[in-house]
Structure 1
Amino acid sequence: MTDQPISKLGLSADEVLTTTRSVRKRLDLTRPVPRRTLVECIEIAHQSPTGSNSQRWRWMIIEDADKRRAIADIYRTNFEAAYVGADAPEPGSQADRVNQSARHLAAHLHEVPVHVIPLLADRMDEGTPSWRQASRWGGVLPAVWSFMLALRERGLGSAWTSLHLQNERDVAELLGIPYDEYSQAGLFPVAYTIGTDFKLAKRPPAEEFIRWNEWS
């Protein structure tokens, strides 16, 4: 018996690009994510442009519940430390909605069925020259974004998080990642989304961010 084809939403390229949101509160914590779906999304991510056509990345996928809980505990500790003393946003504002969404994810991160950590095959530290960092990150980040776009088309979602990186070495030891050889690019909780009707975000006009030929 052959596997059934992976279901897709049939979105246009523009729809995928403009409705791929950071999904936190609408991650389905009860529905398992098939491995072949993740592999297919990573296959698509590997078509992204990369310097010297080198694909200097790896993908750590964490399904194990104990390891997800350990990572979530680290994340929550850093999350709470970051929010201690922070002024509460105005109730009902966009900032308040983002705040509540972030808190929801922190509280439920261990329940998200899959954690994905993209890895850059190099060690990026504070002393690494900016030109080298730009080159290296410029290879892995398009792949990660392509991964998120592929998830969206298949009815899944994620959010780009980085708070666990304050304890990157601890997470590397937990997962057996060679810390001196690989830099973690982030932590992506992956799940099917509750509903697939994501809209365009409210953004200022592009003209406000553009300069032509000189800064003025």
Structure 2
Amino acid sequence: MTDFTAPCEVPGADRDAVLGILRTTRSVRRRLDTDRPVDLALVHAALRTALQAPNGSNQQPWHWIVVTDPRRRAALARCYREAARPYLAAMTQRVDDGTVGRGVLKASLRLTEILDRVPVMIVPCLDSPPADHVGLFRRLGYGPSSEHAALSVYYGSIWPAVWSLMLALRAHSLASAVTALHLTRPDESAAILDLPEGVTQAALLAVAHPTGESFRPAPRRELDTVVHHDTW
């Protein structure tokens, strides 16, 4: 059995490998190989890693639906395409205005075109509705202004695991694109997935082998434009 314990001091080679994955993992939309099958053993291995993610009170409220059935993938892709129309229309306008790069739009359009052919989709879910968490905070004695905190804890209990999953998939030489636009049509997507009442979808990941052999860091703002010390 593999021993996954690790020393507190991270060896230099390990540190470089971890930081390399962190710096080059992102949503891949234009380089997903829709023809090459994905070994589900790799997906399950990545999911086991994702289960180590931090979450509120260690409740581990997550479930993961791995979708490979072609009919369900096609149905989810149709749902996503319809949900994406307003977003893509707005993005097109922003490209025309010069506030969004054309490459971002092309990548988003590409995902709508190929999503039904991506070999694996993963839908992370929470085992209760957000209202339940808001109610919990009220029962603990917090006032109406606590709703923001309650929802932050609620969604904060799944998104670190989603990011861990993307990193783990990358470590297994797979690529993924994460989106949440289909959540604007929750009843339709829930019916496709046969979700029980009260289970809440958090995102959708398209998973495939990447085309090409290399990844590089993406353009980002300079650190000193976004970091504040002590006060804003």
Which residue does 1:71 correspond to in 2?
76
Which residue does 2:217 correspond to in 1?
200
2:153 maps to amino acid: S
Q: Distance in 1 between matches of 2:127 and 2:120?
A: 22
Which residue does 2:202 correspond to in 1?
185
Find 1:45's aligned residue among 41, 44, 50. Answer: 50
CA RMSD of aligned residues (A): 2.2
Give the gaps of 5 or more residues in structure 2: 1-13, 135-146
Q: Distance in 1 between matches of 2:168 and 2:154?
A: 22
Shift of 1:35: 1.3
1:17 maps to amino acid: L
Distance 1:92 1:200, change over 3 A: farther
Find 1:151's aligned residue among 169, 181, 195. Answer: 169
Whether contact under 8 Å (2:88, 2:109) holds in the other structure is no
Shift of 1:195: 2.0
Task: Determine which structure has more spread, i.e. the larger CA radius of gyration.
Answer: 2
1:116 maps to amino acid: I
Shift of 1:205: 1.4
Shift of 1:196: 3.3
Q: Aligned to 2:185, what secondary structure does the other structure show?
A: helix
Shift of 1:92: 10
Shift of 1:84: 3.3
Q: Distance in 2 between matches of 1:88 and 1:204?
A: 19
Which residue does 2:183 correspond to in 1?
165
Q: Aligned to 1:158, what secondary structure does the other structure show?
A: strand
Q: Distance in 1 between matches of 2:106 and 2:126?
A: 31
Q: Distance in 1 between matches of 2:213 and 2:156?
A: 29
Deviation string, structure 1 residues 51-109 (Cα, Å, up to 9, x no partner): 22221100011100011111111111122233336416269997100100110110111
Distance 1:87 1:186, change over 3 A: same
Which portions of structure 1, spanning 4 or more consecutive aligned residues, are displaced by more than 3 angstroms?
A: 90-94
- The answer on 1:210 being equivalent to 2:227 is yes
Q: Distance in 1 between matches of 2:200 and 2:22?
A: 27
1:28 maps to amino acid: D
Distance 1:77 1:53, change over 3 A: same
Which residue does 2:20 correspond to in 1?
15
Which residue does 1:122 correspond to in 2?
128
Whether contact under 8 Å (1:21, 1:198) holds in the other structure is no
Find 1:102's aligned residue among 94, 97, 108. Answer: 108
Which residue does 1:138 correspond to in 2?
156
Whether contact under 8 Å (1:156, 1:190) holds in the other structure is yes
Q: Distance in 1 between matches of 2:29 and 2:107?
A: 6
Shift of 1:110: 0.2
2:230 maps to amino acid: N
- The answer on 1:59 being equivalent to 2:64 is yes
